[in-house]
A and B are shown apart, each in its own frame.
Chain A
Amino acid sequence: MTDAAVHAVDPDQEGRVRLSGRQICKSFGSAQVLFDVSIDLHAGEVHALLGENGAGKSTLVKILSGYHQPTSGELILDQAPVSFVDSEVGEGHGVILIHQELNLAEQLTVEENIFLGREIKRGWFLDKATMRAQAQELLDQLQCDVDPRARIRDLAVSDRQMVEIAKALSKKADILILDEPTAVLTGREVEILFDQIRRLREQGVAILYISHKLDEIKAIADRVTVLRDGRHITTETVAELEKDDMARLMVGRDIKQMFPDRVPDHSAEIVLSVRDVCVDGQVRDASFDLRRGEVLGFAGIVGAGRTALMEAIIGLRERSSGRIERNGAPVKINSLQDAKKCGIAYLTKDRKGSGLLLNMDMRPNLTLLALEKFGRVFIDRKAEEAALETAIEAFDIRAADRKSKVGDFSGGNQQKLLLAKVMETDPDIVIIDEPTRGIDIGTKSEIYHFIGDLTDRGKSVILLSSEMPEMLGLSDRIAVMAGGRITGILMGDGRNEHEIMRHATGISGKQGASVHE
């Protein structure tokens, strides 16, 4: 029975199955990725699809929306078998998939993107006024204050996500599939998105919502289907499942310990001192110390200047002032090469765009940052192979075929490879930006333990993350940034969500850094 606190499934709607997949199987070449999966999407219901990376979630939704054809099994729309030859046919039936990787034309404006391929015309010409008005209306609905004339390339990722949703709404979606829509959104934006999803649900839209985030599923979904290794594990009412149950069903085992045990040593020697670093328009007078074996978290809302500060420290961005000391001695870091020499490594949050060469296999990716280690005149391929062997072992990278391109890897394996790549330079300080974005819970835990291992070996870690549990679970101290300033450094019991939000929103005042024990 459904709990009143959770959005009750109206019994009248129970029968209103809009779209079903029946015994869907899917193989790519010899690899079968889906085994007899069935799923029903009901009108006026949010159905969550939960599973680890590689569980087959994306493949299933691509089949439901016409991007892939099932190897066997069938789709039923309103009690009649259908086949979506391609995604256009699917969209014609009102089934719209919003991809995990946003598909917007960067050079075009918001309104041009919303109406791309379906431009409103007046005679032979585009009716720009009408399109702009409609685009504005859609954005207003989403409480998104983006100018319809703005170019996509100038927008923040979260705004782009909203544009994608506006685009889907404009297509009159009555079966809407969202593939990890919140991966790039901030807390406030997630709330707006959820309001929209609830509004659509009230209008009778059938929604399939894919996420790894159990909190979100509890908050928004009515029912949940769990996939594991391409197989349907269960479909249940969300109210009947606890988060732990969902995690266990998804992973197939108990996750004993999500985070490594940490015993912070606040008296260890200082390995990195950052003093009064400024970046024009982005960072103002940022100062902090990093101790040996420490995980120093950096929290803040998007645009608070965390990434800009880190890029300024490692020489990827110009500092207008400030200085950096390593082990008490001033160092000049004006490029990533300098940072590397100083033993500082940076793990980008954009593993696909700036982390890995997706069209290459693992070996060149692994050694790219530390290439000089593998020979100055000629590259020693045997040494590279050996390094790869070690890395696969140490970071538990699970690739069926070593020769396959890393672009085909799951997000988790890509992230592990990226971590291995950065560790090839044997840095003392690792700056990690969003270590687990778009990664399933099992792999997340593994990565957390890798980070724990690093600090146990005397390395220091700076962690940038927008995921609160990760920030709280891993960091020994948490620096909070707002408006380009470090507004507080939290320690001990001061490290809680409330304090972080207080500093991140600037409520704590602007009198410089305050330390909370």
Chain B
Amino acid sequence: MSSVERNEAPTKKTSGGFSIDFKALGPFLALVGLFVLGTAINDAFLSGGNLSNIFTRAAFIGIIAVGATFVITAGGIDLSVGSMAAFISGAMIVVMNGLVETLGAGVETVLLGVVLSVILGIGAGAINGLVSTKGKIEAFIVTLGTMGIYRSLVTYMADGGTLSLDFDIRGVYRPIYYGDILGIPIPVLVFFAVAVAGYVLLNMTPFGRKCFAIGSNEQVARYSAIHVDRIKTLTYVIQGLCVSIATIIYVPRLGSASSSTGVLWELEAIAAVIIGGTMLKGGYGRIWGTVVGAIMLTTIGNILNLTDAISNYLNGAVQGLIIIVAVFLQRGDWRRKKSK
């Protein structure tokens, strides 16, 4: 009997090895690729100044994205982070400016601003988490709502205009963004510390394991005696805390807040998470991937600045393309594993 060979389509089963390695290393390889490209385009790309610039800018979205990694890994989403950052910046500026009269433009005033930021971040995160878990409303809807609320609160505080930080406080506060330790900019150090803490929390603790479990299958988590609502709420609190840390670094850089502060940052943060290999539907998250994702997004903008080949105005288009390609690659891998 002749055997039918015309429709041979052997389904490949992952036999370990290459594809998995590629999946884990994919974002790193892509980043290396970008750096090679950047160097080829302009020698100035690898200069200390430029690199420091890239990492400092990446720190900001990166810190927020570390928080988003927790939320997304546990199967949630937080669309409110950009507005939250704007609101926290505005509140910090208003309060610090107000404190100048009583406390003077000193370190105490800045510290109180920082404390306020942390409280607001944690509080805003807790609201997102509690409303979606206790109210049993989709996180997408809840954070879409709070996104509008925080945004209009900052507009209201600024009375439609711009809130500017008191000039003297700016002087005191400035080193948080512009300072460095051993030549490494403080934002980069903070970013690194947040990433390490995030990595440890997500990968080495019961809390992190529970995030994976909930994102992977909430029902299984519930039947495994996990306090699903509590863990999910905590991921939003971590997200809020990360937003507050990012804002603390950001305020001295711009020294102002307005209704246009932080617009679309939520999408950049989510993009960094997804490029890094975290599954948008939850159940799988990777902090280092997120870090690389954030650096990649900033690097793209930086390279476009250094070249005339593509207009800098197309930055968003290139980023968008990279996000889609990253997810496409992820899904291809996923499907291959599933098919059997």
B3 close to A23 (CB less than 8 A): yes
Closest to B20 in A: A403
> Does B252 make an interface contact (CB < 8 A)?
no
A356 to chain B: which residues have CB within 8 Å? 220
Of the 9-residue stretches A365-373, A473-481, A487-495, which lies at the interface with chain B? A365-373
Of the 9-residue stretches A24-32, A184-192, A232-240, A283-291, which lies at the interface with chain B? A24-32
Please report the C-alpha to C-alpha distance between residue A362 and residue B294 in the assembled complex, in whole angstroms: 32
Please report the C-alpha to C-alpha distance between residue A343 and residue B1 in the assembled complex, in whole angstroms: 62
Please report the C-alpha to C-alpha distance between residue A411 and residue B204 in the assembled complex, in whole angstroms: 30
Please report the C-alpha to C-alpha distance between residue A387 and residue B16 in the assembled complex, in whole angstroms: 24
A369 close to B7 (CB less than 8 A): no
Please report the C-alpha to C-alpha distance between residue A71 and residue B226 in the assembled complex, in whole angstroms: 44
- Report B223 CB to chain A, min CB distance, Å: 4
- Name the one of A30, A71, A371, A407 contacting B210, with C-beta atoms under 8 angstroms: A371
A70 to chain B: which residues have CB within 8 Å? 4
Please report the C-alpha to C-alpha distance between residue A368 and residue B16 in the assembled complex, in whole angstroms: 24
A81 close to B217 (CB less than 8 A): no
> Does B227 make an interface contact (CB < 8 A)?
yes
Q: A336-B222, A346-B223, A369-B224 known; A357 and B216 CB under 8 Å?
A: yes
Q: For this complex, into which size category does the number of interface residues on chain B fall?
A: 35 or more
How many contacts between A and B, using CB within 8 angstroms? 106
Closest to A29 in B: B13
A348 close to B223 (CB less than 8 A): yes
B210 to chain A: which residues have CB within 8 Å? 371
B10 to chain A: which residues have CB within 8 Å? 27-28, 69, 71
- Name the one of B5, B8, B209, B219 contacting A353, with C-beta atoms under 8 angstroms: B219
Please report the C-alpha to C-alpha distance between residue A23 and residue B5 in the assembled complex, in whole angstroms: 13
- Report A62 CB to chain B, min CB distance, Å: 10
Q: For this complex, into which size category does the number of interface residues on chain A fall?
A: 35 or more
Closest to B12 in A: A29
Q: Write the B191-204 contact mask toward A (1 if CB under 8 angstroms, else 0).
A: 00000000010001
Please report the C-alpha to C-alpha distance between residue A234 and residue B13 in the assembled complex, in whole angstroms: 30
> Does A360 make an interface contact (CB < 8 A)?
yes
> Does B75 make an interface contact (CB < 8 A)?
no
> Does B38 make an interface contact (CB < 8 A)?
no
- Report B206 CB to chain A, min CB distance, Å: 5
B3 close to A74 (CB less than 8 A): yes
Closest to B200 in A: A378
A408 close to B223 (CB less than 8 A): no
> Does B134 make an interface contact (CB < 8 A)?
no
A337 to chain B: which residues have CB within 8 Å? 225, 227
- Name the one of A358, A376, A379 contacting B217, with C-beta atoms under 8 angstroms: A358
A379 close to B4 (CB less than 8 A): no
> Does A54 make an interface contact (CB < 8 A)?
no
A364 close to B213 (CB less than 8 A): yes
Please report the C-alpha to C-alpha distance between residue A355 and residue B7 in the assembled complex, in whole angstroms: 38
B220 close to A83 (CB less than 8 A): no
B3 close to A83 (CB less than 8 A): no
Please report the C-alpha to C-alpha distance between residue A238 and residue B213 in the assembled complex, in whole angstroms: 46
Q: A28-B11, A68-B11, A74-B3 known; A379 and B222 CB under 8 Å?
A: no
B11 close to A74 (CB less than 8 A): no
> Does B337 make an interface contact (CB < 8 A)?
yes
- Report A27 CB to chain B, min CB distance, Å: 7
> Does B321 make an interface contact (CB < 8 A)?
no
- Report B336 CB to chain A, min CB distance, Å: 10
> Does A359 make an interface contact (CB < 8 A)?
yes
- Report B125 CB to chain A, min CB distance, Å: 22
A357 close to B283 (CB less than 8 A): yes
- Report A82 CB to chain B, min CB distance, Å: 9
User: Which of A23, A371, A407, A408 has the most chain B CB atoms closer than 10 A to its own CB?
Assistant: A371
A75 to chain B: which residues have CB within 8 Å? 4
> Does B182 make an interface contact (CB < 8 A)?
no
B340 to chain A: which residues have CB within 8 Å? 28, 408
- Report B218 CB to chain A, min CB distance, Å: 9
- Name the one of B4, B14, B219 contacting A74, with C-beta atoms under 8 angstroms: B4
> Does A4 make an interface contact (CB < 8 A)?
no
Please report the C-alpha to C-alpha distance between residue A477 and residue B127 in the assembled complex, in whole angstroms: 51
A354 close to B11 (CB less than 8 A): no
B1 close to A74 (CB less than 8 A): yes
Please report the C-alpha to C-alpha distance between residue A372 and residue B204 in the assembled complex, in whole angstroms: 13
> Does B15 make an interface contact (CB < 8 A)?
yes
A346 to chain B: which residues have CB within 8 Å? 223
Q: A29-B15, A31-B13, A368-B209 known; A83 and B4 CB under 8 Å?
A: yes
Q: A337-B227, A348-B223 known; A69 and B9 CB under 8 Å?
A: yes
Given A71-B8, A74-B3, A337-B225, 16 more pairs with CB closer than 8 A = A28-B10, A69-B7, A69-B10, A75-B4, A83-B7, A335-B225, A354-B217, A354-B220, A357-B212, A359-B284, A360-B283, A369-B225, A371-B209, A374-B206, A379-B206, A407-B338
Q: Which 3 A-B pairs have the closest CB atoms?
A: A29-B13, A74-B4, A354-B219
Mark B residues whose CB is within 8 Å of A. Answer: 1-16, 200, 204-206, 209-210, 212-213, 216-217, 219-227, 283-284, 337-338, 340
12 A-B contact pairs sorted by A residue (CB < 8 Å) = A30-B15, A71-B8, A335-B225, A353-B217, A354-B220, A368-B220, A368-B224, A369-B224, A371-B206, A375-B206, A378-B200, A407-B338
